[in-house]
Amino acid sequence: MLNNVLGIDFQNTFARDLEGLYKKGNSCKCPSAEVLLLNKSLSLELGIDLNRLQSKNALDIFSGNIKPENSITLAQAYSGHQFGQFNPNLGDGRALLIGEAINQKGKLIDIQLKGAGQTPYSRRGDGKSALGPVLREYLISESMHVLGIPTTRALAAIKTGDQVERDGLLPGGIMTRIASSHIRIGTFEYARFHKDNQLIKKLTDYSIARHFPDTANVENPYLAFFAAVCNQQALLIANWMSVGFIHGVMNTDNMTISGETIDFGPCAFMDSYDPSTVFSSIDVNKRYAYANQPAILTWNLTRLAETLIPLIHEDRNESIKLLTEVLQLIKPVYTNYWLSIMRSKIGLSKEDQNDIEIISNFLEIMEEEKADFTLCFRSLSKALIGDGQTIRALFNNSRRFDGWMMIWQERISQEGIAEEKIAASMNKVNPIYIPRNHKVEEALHEAVFKNNMLPFNKLHSLLQYPFEEIDGFESFKEPAPKSDVPYKTFCGT
C-alpha cells in the first residue's frame, strides 16, 4: 500500500527478518521545524514526486512529527571498535529508520532520520543533532556523490526550531539520510558479541540478498560475501585516497557492508599534501591519518572476518585459513584500484610497470613542497595544452619538479593519444572544486549563527559541478589562507 505523504511503498524487511538487531522507537516532535534543504534529484530517484517532497506533510515526516503509515520505525543495534577498543553497546543513539523504499532501479533503500531524538540506544545522549553537523553532512555527502564516490546521501535538512546543548546551546537540526543499508561491520560484531550464530547467519543471509545477491550462488556463499565486502571497501578507500579525503573516524561501526561512506564526523579534504594529516581533535595517536586509511581498511575487515568464522566451514581452523586467504588479498586489490584511479589522474590509460613510481614521485615532491593536493592534479593537465606555468608555480624547488615533468611527459607520449584529449579526460577525474574546509566553515557559520543560507547554497551549487571551472569562483579553488591552518574538527557532532 502506498504511503499517502511520500508516495512510497514502504517495506519493513529489516524489522521482518532481523529480530534481535533492532528496537522499535519513535521520533520526538518538532512543531516549529522548517525545511532548509530538499534534494530534488535524489527524491525523484526514490520515486517521490516534487509536489509530495515539498508538501507540509513531508516536512512533518522529515522533522519526526508524523510517522509514515505502513512503516515500522526502529533503531538498529550495533557494536564497534572505536579507536581500536571494542564497545559492545553502541547502536543508533540518534538515528531512526523510518522506512525502506524501493528506488527507481528496483533497489531497496533505507530512509533514516538522524537527530530526531532519543532511541532505545541513546544511553546518556539526547539523540539530537546540532544544525551545523547536519548541514556539513548534507554538503559533504552530496559532494562525494558527484565526485563518483559511494556514499550515503542526504534527502532533507531540517532546522528543528529547538536548541541542543553541546558546548553551549546550538540550533538543532535533523537530516534525512538515504543509504543502500545501514548495516555496518559493527552490526556483525554485535551478533558475535551475543554469541548468537543463528543471528550472524540471518544477518549474513540478509546482507547477501540485499547487497551481493550473486554470491548466493557460488560454492561458499559466506566466503564470497566476505570477499565482496572486502572488494567494495577497498574500492571505497582507494576513492577516498584519490581525492585527499580523510574520514576521520574509521571505527568499525562507521564502515558499511555496502561500501558506502557513512557518518561524516570530523572528515575533511586535505589541502596541502601531507600523508600524516588528521582532522579529528581526539585522534591524538593519528590512528585515522590519511596515509593510515588503507591499513585500517584491513584491520577493520579482520574484525568482520572474525564474526564470520562460524559460517565459513565447520572446522574452525579451516574457516580461519580461508578467511585469512581473502584478507591477504585486500592489500593487492586495494593497490590495483588505487593505481588505476591514480593513473587516470595523471592522464595514463595504458599500464606500465613504472607508473607506480611516477605517481609516488609526484606525491613525494608534493609532500616535500607542501603543495595543494587538488590543485596539483588539476593543474597538471594544463601542461598538456600549452600552459606549463600554472603547475610549475605550485612548486618552489622547480628543478626537482622539472625532472619529474620530463619523465611524465615522456610517459604521456607513449600513450599515443592527442594531448588535448588526455587533458580533457584528466579534467573529468581531477576536481577543481572540493569542499574546502575554510569555505565549509564559513558557510556553516553564516547558516547556523546568522540565519543566512546564501553562502551555503552558493557552495553547495558549485560543488554539484566539481569538474567544471566557472568564472567568478576563483576563491573556491584556492586552499585556506595560512592563518586557518591547522584545521581541526570535533567528534561530538
Show the DSSP H helices in 95-220 as ranges. Answer: 131-146, 185-193, 197-211
**Using CB under 5 A, which residues numbered 231 to 290 contact Mg ion?**
254, 263
The one of ligand AMP, Mg ion, none whose footprint includes residue 182, by CB under 5 to 8 A per kind, is none
The one of ligand AMP, Mg ion, none whose footprint includes residue 435, by CB under 5 to 8 A per kind, is none
Q: What is the pairing mode between strands 168-179 and 153-166?
A: antiparallel
Residue 20 or 93 with smaller CB distance to Mg ion: 93
Q: Helices 373-380 and 419-427 sit at what angle, rounded to 10 degrees? A: 150
Q: Is 126 a catalytic residue?
A: no
The one of Mg ion, ligand AMP, none whose footprint includes residue 93, by CB under 5 to 8 A per kind, is ligand AMP
Residue 92 or 369 with smaller CB distance to ligand AMP: 92
> Which entry of 60, 92, 253, 271 is annotated as an active-site residue?
253
CB of 209 to ligand AMP, least distance (A): 26
**Using CB under 5 A, which residues numbered 287 to 316 contact Mg ion?**
none
| Residues counted in the chain | 493
CB of 110 to ligand AMP, least distance (A): 15
DSSP states along 7-61: ----B-HHHHH-TTSEEE--PPP-TT-EEEEE-HHHHHHTT--HHHHTSHHHHHH
Amino acid in position 84: G
CB of 389 to ligand AMP, least distance (A): 45
CB of 90 to Mg ion, least distance (A): 7
What is the distance between the alpha carbons of residues 148 and 83, in angstroms, rounded to a whole number? 28
Amino acid in position 72: I
Residue 115 or 479 with smaller CB distance to Mg ion: 115
The one of Mg ion, ligand AMP, none whose footprint includes residue 378, by CB under 5 to 8 A per kind, is none
Site of grid cell 580533457 = 424
The one of ligand AMP, Mg ion, none whose footprint includes residue 126, by CB under 5 to 8 A per kind, is ligand AMP
The one of ligand AMP, Mg ion, none whose footprint includes residue 444, by CB under 5 to 8 A per kind, is none
Residues lying near ligand AMP in the complex (CB under 6 A) are found at: 90-94, 122, 125-128, 249, 254, 263, 265, 491
Residue 283 or 369 with smaller CB distance to Mg ion: 283
CB of 436 to ligand AMP, least distance (A): 23
Interface characters, 371-410, with Mg ion (x: CB under 5 A)? ----------------------------------------
Site of grid cell 579507536 = 83
CB of 93 to ligand AMP, least distance (A): 2
On the CB side of 318, CA atoms within 13 Å amount to: 6
| Three-state secondary structure call for residue 155 | strand
Number of H helices and number of E strands within the chain?
17, 12
What is the distance between the alpha carbons of residues 401 and 366, in angstroms, rounded to a whole number? 9
Residue 87 or 390 with smaller CB distance to Mg ion: 87
Residue 94 or 343 with smaller CB distance to ligand AMP: 94
What is the distance between the alpha carbons of residues 143 and 141, in angstroms, rounded to a whole number? 5
Type and span of the H or E element at 312:
helix 293-312
What residues contact residue 393 under an 8 Å CB cut-off, 6+ apart?
none
Which residues are part of the catalytic machinery? 253
Where on the chain is the footprint of Mg ion (CB under 5 A)? 254, 263
